[in-house]
Chains A and B, each alone.
Chain A
C-alpha cells in the first residue's frame, strides 16, 4: 500500500472543508425554498451527494469519526431525497446542526485527537430518532412504459424522481439535443436553466450515436405539466428534438410511435451554426489538454506569503539598482547609468506585475464568510424566537484570504448582538408599526484600497442613556466626564471592556466575547469600526478594512531621527506645518485645514523619542484618516512613497501597540510601520500617549 502523503491528506482536509461549506450553502437554499413554499428536490440530492462524497473520502483517508457521522447522515438524506421522510422543520434543524458538528469532527481528525464530543453524540441520537420510523424499499418504476435503455441508466435517486413525477401526473418528454463537446458545459447549463421553467430534468443520457468527433448527442428526460407545443416553443432549436414519452402503466397497450416535434421541420438534427464554425475553426488542436481538466490548485497561504517576501526582497534589490545608477551618473559613466536605468525600469514594471499577480491569488470573495453567517442568523433567530430576514449585498467583494478567516468571529458576534439586543420582540415591533420580521443587512463593498463591511439592523438602536449610566456605575468614567461626552463618544462606550447594556449574561451574547474584543480583532487587521445608531430605527456598525495585509504602499517619514512607514491607505494628505496656526481646544492641539479643525500630535513626542539637535523649522503634517476619524501627525521629513512588505515584530514585541510591524528599507535599515488605526484611537480617545508601552523600542 502506498503512503498517503501529507499532501494528499492536506488535499483531503481542504476538500472535506469545501464539501461541508457546500453542504451548508445547500441547506440555506433549502431553508429559503422551504420558507417560500417552493420545493426543489435537487437541493436535497445535492446535500446527499455532498455527504456521500465525504463518507467515501473519510473511508479512503482513514478518518473514522468523519466516516461514521457521514454514514448516519447520508442515511437520513437518502430517506429525504427518496421521499421516505418529509423535510419537516425539526429535520432541517438537525441538518443545520450537522454543519457545526462536521466542523468539530474535522478539527479533531486533523489534529489526530480522540476527544469526546458530547454535542456530536447527541446529534447522532437525534439522527437515529428521525430515521427510526422510516420504511425503506419502494415500488420500482418497472410498471411504467419507458424506454428500457433509459431506465437502465437511472440511479436510484433518478428513478425515485421519475416515479414522483409520474405519480403527480406530469407528462414526460424526451429532448434529444446535440452539443458541441467544447462548449457543452455552458450550452447545457443554458438548456437546464430554460428547461427548469417547465419542470424537472430527471436524467441526461448520452445516446452514443455517432455525431462527429467533437459533438455529442444527449437525451434529456424532462417531466413537465406543459404540453408539447409549449415546450417546442420555448426550448426548440435546430439542435433540439422534443418528443413526448409514453408513461402509461404496462397493463395498458403500448402506444404508437411517439409524436415527433422537430421545430423547423428539418429532418435530421444538426449542430447549430455557432457550433459548426467553432468546430471547423479549431478542429482537434484546440481541444482541452488531456492532463489538466481541473483548472484550479489549492495553495497553502504561507507559500504565497513566502513569494510575497521574495518580492519584498527583490524590491530592495530594485532600489539598490537605482541608487547605483545614480552614482554612476554622478561619476560620469553616463551611458552605463542610462543602460542600468532602463534595466531598472523594466525590472520595476515586471516586479509590479508579479506583486499584483500574487495579491490577486490571495483574494477571495467575502461570500465565503457570509454563508457561515447566514447559518448563524438562522440558528439564533430560531433560538430566540425572533424572525429575521437577512439581506446580503456585495458577497462578491474580494478581500485577502487571511482577513476573511479572521472576520468570521467578529462578524458573528456583531450579528448575535444585533439580533439579541437590537431587534425587538415581534410584539414590540407590531406596537411601533415595524414589520414583524427584523432585518439584518450585511453589506460589503470596495472603497479605494479598503473594503467596507456594514452590519445593519432595523431594531431599537443603542440606548445611550443606559449605556452612559452603566459606564458611570461601573466606574469606567466619572459622572462629570460623562456629562461632557459628545454623541460619538457615547456610542464608542460599547467598545469599553466589561460594558454591556444587558443586566444578565446570557448564552447568546454573553459568551465572554464583548464588543471590545471585536474591536481589538478588527484593529489587528488594520481596520476600524464606527457605530451609528438611531433610537427606534436601528444600529449600523461599519467596518473599514484594508484589502490585503501582504503588501502596502506606505509614506516614509522621519520623526526625531527615526524612519517610520505610514500605510498610504490611511493617509489622506500631507501639508506643510505652521506652528503658529496651532490652537488648543479642550486640551487638545488642533489646526484648521480648509475650514475644519484637525487634531494634531507630534509623532516623535508621542513615541517619546529624544528631540534631535538638527534644525526643524520646516516640518510637515501627515493627515491620517480611518473611517470618519482624522488625525494630523507632525513629522520632520517626508521621504516619499514606497511599497513595503510588513513583517511581524516578533513575539517579544508583538504586544506593543501602535505598530503594525517592521519593514526593510532599501538601505539595509529597518523601519517601523505605524498602525494608524491604533495611533488614531490612542490619541483621539484621550488616553495618555502610549509612552511607557513604547519605551521598549529605544530602551
Chain B
C-alpha cells in the first residue's frame, strides 16, 4: 500500500483530500496519514517511507516552505514528491516552494478530480497487483 503524508491545519480540508484520494480506483489503496501542523509533519516524517507528501503553505510556526525545505535536506526523504496545496493569493509563497523542490501544486479551491490527477501524476497509477504484497 502506498503512503501519503498530508500536512494541512484545516480539518475539513484534510477530510476533503482524504475523501478525494480514497475515491479514485486508479490510485489504488492509499494510506493517508494526516499531520495537523508543520510540527506534526516533522514528527511524522521519520516514520516514513512516504510515496507522496501533500502540504499546505500557510500554517502557524512551521510553515509549508519549511516542511519542504526539511524534506529536501533529509537523506531519507529528499526524493519523495511533494505537492503544494495553497490559495491563489499565496502565489509568491508557492513559487518559493517550487524553487525549494516541490514537484507540483494545486490552487485552492480545487476539485477532487484535479487533486486525483495531480496525485496520479506524482505517484503513477496503481502498481500491478502483486508488486506490493
Contacts and interface: CB of A to CB of B under 8 A. Distances in A.
Binding partners A and B: yes
Contact of A288 (B43, B57, B100): B43
B118 interface: no
B108 to A, nearest CB: 4
Interface centre among A46, A67, A153, A182 (most CB of B within 10 A): A153
Contacts of A258: none
Interface in A455-472: none
Contacts of A291: 33
A156 B89 CA distance: 11
A4 B19 contact: yes
A406 to B, nearest CB: 27
A1 B90 contact: no
Contacts of A185: 39
B66 A56 contact: no
B60 A59 contact: no
Given A49-B60, A57-B10, A188-B61, A287 B109 contact: no
A16 to B, nearest CB: 8
A565 to B, nearest CB: 41
Contacts of A205: 66, 69
Contacts of B70: 206, 208
B15 A11 contact: yes
A8 interface: yes
B83 interface: no
Nearest to B60: A49
B99 A152 contact: yes
B40 A293 contact: yes
A188 B62 CA distance: 11
A213 B93 contact: no
Given A2-B112, A59-B109, A204 B61 contact: yes
A543 to B, nearest CB: 34
Given A8-B19, A184-B43, A206-B62, A56 B34 contact: no
Task: Give chain B's interface residue range (CB within 8 Å of chain A).
Answer: 35 or more
Given A1-B112, A56-B109, A208-B69, A11 B11 contact: yes
Nearest to B18: A8
Given A2-B20, A181-B43, A294 B65 contact: no
Interface in A27-50: 46, 49
A653 interface: no
A152 B69 CA distance: 9
A8 B10 CA distance: 12
A140 to B, nearest CB: 10
A48 to B, nearest CB: 9
A216 B38 CA distance: 13
A2 B108 contact: no
Nearest to B61: A204
Given A56-B10, A155-B90, A203 B100 contact: no
Interface string A129-173: 000000000000000000001001111101000000000000000
Given A2-B23, A294-B34, A156 B10 contact: no
B82 interface: no
Contacts of B20: 1-2
Contact of A57 (B12, B58, B66, B110): B12
B44 interface: yes
A61 interface: yes
B24 to A, nearest CB: 8
Given A2-B112, A4-B16, A204 B33 contact: no
B36 interface: yes
B46 interface: yes
Interface string B68-80: 1110111100000
A53 B9 contact: yes
B122 interface: no
B132 interface: no
A483 B110 CA distance: 72
Given A56-B13, A206-B42, A155 B109 contact: no
Given A11-B11, A12-B12, A46 B60 contact: yes
B63 interface: yes
Nearest to A292: B34
A58 B16 CA distance: 12
Contacts of B22: 2
A294 B36 contact: yes
A78 B87 CA distance: 13
Nearest to A153: B65
A256 interface: no
A52 B89 CA distance: 9
B19 to A, nearest CB: 5
A290 B44 contact: yes
A53 B93 contact: no
Contacts of B119: none
A153 B69 contact: yes
Contacts of A213: 46
B125 interface: no
Contact of B42 (A58, A60, A152, A181): A181
A664 interface: no
Contacts of B40: 293
28 contacts: A2-B19, A2-B112, A4-B16, A11-B15, A15-B10, A52-B87, A56-B87, A56-B108, A57-B12, A59-B87, A61-B12, A153-B100, A155-B90, A155-B93, A181-B43, A184-B42, A185-B39, A203-B63, A204-B62, A206-B62, A206-B67, A208-B74, A210-B75, A213-B46, A214-B46, A293-B35, A294-B34, A294-B36
Closest 7 CB pairs of A and B: A59-B109, A208-B73, A2-B23, A206-B70, A153-B65, A56-B108, A12-B12
Given A2-B22, A205-B66, A206-B69, 5 more contacts: A4-B16, A57-B10, A204-B66, A208-B69, A216-B42
